[in-house]
Structure 1
């Protein structure tokens, strides 16, 4: 194991690292850290706090992972950060632990591509297969579902939820929930349609994509309240049975929204 840790790196004796984990020059790994097999910590990184990291992750140079939350209410409670498998984390990314005011843990799932200068604040829940481009700033308590894509320099308000398969253009300002499958951009964010190309690439059939486009029209073109739109989309499931599961994801998201959805 010693041969995989650069002689200038500092790894706390209490840290738990799999035998093949590499730690680059001048990096620091704190006592509460656990890192799984195949993961790589580049030079000049700091990984501390109560942080658990899975297999085959790459932390590029100058990352700061597991730092305490940027929340004035934080009083040193034993909150955590959990990161799954196969994530790429590029230069100067910061990911903080959770707070006692929420679930107490920040989570990042599997196979996420997190580009340079991204900030993931306390209690964020990032699912899997997302792309978070350069300089995206995520405030606390944000939920991002599978396969979402956030363009560079976008900013997301605290407590916002971003649905699965969304595609958000660069420099967007997100202040309300973005329903699944939606594509758009702007300050404030403006939805323009369904992410049909992304859905097709992920195996969604033309029939399902067509049904989701119809659901989009119900949600955004008929001047309905969110509750009314959810009811009509639920009724659409009976007519478009081949898309029932995909439509249910949208209905569930709308019914759970507390901030309202972006409609600008």
Structure 2
């Protein structure tokens, strides 16, 4: 059936395109080099579609009883949403979708009991706009907006289960020969608008990146709890739930940490991990 050709987790902090010139030069170079390497890896993998799993910043999901995931089944998007263009310093972009793949994913995940629904023409902010700035706009994207910050959010165990479901769908249900890239976006430690707005938990970030390198699902479920992530930065760090989805989709193979920069100017730990072999 289908196959994964590249899986990655990456931060999507708006400052990466919006105000990176505020960083020290060495941090600018490290951040840009890290994202450029992720972009090169994805391009070299030649995916037919990129599935994205990223936090919805209260733009698309309802505040009351939100689904854990909403799959966007549109055939194309123009982004970012108008409000975010100046903030991200992005003039706008156009990217195609894969509604045929999206509909299969929704159908299969619903049948497996996941709290998931579908939408069309959902709004994009930094969740997709920052990664796509480096990955490019030529490959169709299938965005999955995820509830990472509006309680109740899906627990790590449910995110691992969802990642394994994505793996099953890609490998057993999607058309033969379909080449699939997957990115989980969000994090690392940050607390948007909170008392620790300009403070990162570097120790936590490095520990989490090591967890991704090990890709031990049982340890992630046991140790990378919602409470532990909130201790590292409330209202933002739980975006790393999307990385857990990516890790599980890779099937337990180890990740490689591509880069990490603790950036006060970005108000976020900035980094990325990649899986290029899959079980």
Please indicate the TM-score interval, normalised by the length of the shorter structure: 0.3 to 0.5
Which structure has more relative contact order (CA 8 Å, sep 6+)? It is 2
**Structure (1 or 2) with the larger CA radius of gyration:** 1
Q: Choose between structure 1 and 2: higher strand proportion.
A: 1
Taking structure 1 as the reference length, what is the TM-score of the superposition? 0.32
Q: TM-score, normalised by structure 2?
A: 0.31
Question: Which protein has the bigger helix share?
Answer: 2
